Amino acid sequence: MNPPESFFRRRSRAQRETPAVSSFVQDASPALWLGGALRNLIMCAPLAWAGVVAGMLFATHVLAFELPGQARAATTANVRVAFTPEDDVAGQMVDAIAHARRQVLVQAFSFTHDQIARALLDAHRRGVEVKLIADREQTEKMDRGQVSGLARGGIPVWLDGDHQSAHNKVIVIDAGTPSAMVITGSFNFTRAAQHKNAENVVFISGNETLAQTYAQNWQRHLAHSQPLNIH
């Protein structure tokens, strides 16, 4: 038995706008909720309904953050997801950076997107602390990269060459404040990621502990990175 087409439309919308899901799970643990859901799922056609499981697991993991070396973090967060090429991920990143008030920490592998670079420069010029760690090899071999331009614009930039690839794609905004946000996913800061590739990005706010953990990881990579000096 195939699920009705309207079900997938509802599920797609729920996966893109998930904040409301936290109120559902506050009254029952994720494990109990998932267990009950799976029992119901077994009574249906398992293969036809396989997509439902993905949505449930997504919701469960959103609500139970296991952070390295720490007890379980607060179990709620506001989460928004986006997928390219359909969604304007770059535009959403630019908007998030425009709302930064204190600090923007960036980890980048490949960085060629001029609008995201401009948003970082604008934030720097209005007094927000903006810092960038980029992959050394990618930065040095890219002819049209934005990293050097950011450094020339006054943003402190470091190159991480301590790994085969410094492959993080992360933006941490205003860590240590109630408005903190983490942006991460497969999306490189490039126009190809926006217009040509199939990528995913998660925007997570409302969880200060999670944002602080990403900020601490940024600092760990800073310790072995080298400053980019523009002459």
For residue 11, pLDDT beyond 50 = no
Rounded to two decimals, the pTM is 0.71
C-alpha closest to that of 175 among 71, 73, 102: 102
Extended beta strands in 75-231, E state: 78-84, 103-108, 129-135, 157-160, 170-173, 181-185, 199-205, 226-227
Cα 226 to Cα 133, 162, 193, 231: the distances in Å are: 9, 10, 27, 15
Q: What is the pLDDT of residue 92?
A: 97
Q: What is the pLDDT of residue 142?
A: 81
User: How high is the mean pLDDT of the chain?
Assistant: 77
3 state SS of 173: strand
Task: Please say whether the beta carbons of 196 and 210 come within 8 A.
Answer: no
For residue 187, pLDDT beyond 70 = yes
Task: Please say whether the beta carbons of 127 and 154 come within 8 A.
Answer: no
For residue 54, pLDDT beyond 70 = no
The rounded percent of the chain whose pLDDT value lies above 70 is 67
Segment 104-120 shows an average pLDDT of: 96
Backbone dihedral region for residue 70 (phi beyond 0: left; psi -120 to 50: alpha; all else: beta): beta
Question: Which residues contact residue 194 at a Cβ distance below 8 angstroms, ignoring those fewer than 6 apart?
Answer: 84, 85, 88, 89, 90, 113, 187
Determine the Cα angle at 218 with ends 185 and 205, to 5°: 50
Of the pLDDT bands very low, low, confident and very high (cuts 50, 70, 90), residue 229 is: confident
Indicate the angle between helix axes 50-63 and 5-16, nearest 10 degrees.
20
Residues assigned a catalytic role: 167, 169, 174
For residue 139, pLDDT beyond 60 = yes
**Which residue carries 């980019």 as its tokens?**
228
Of the pLDDT bands very low, low, confident and very high (cuts 50, 70, 90), residue 34 is: very low
Q: What is the pLDDT of residue 197?
A: 94
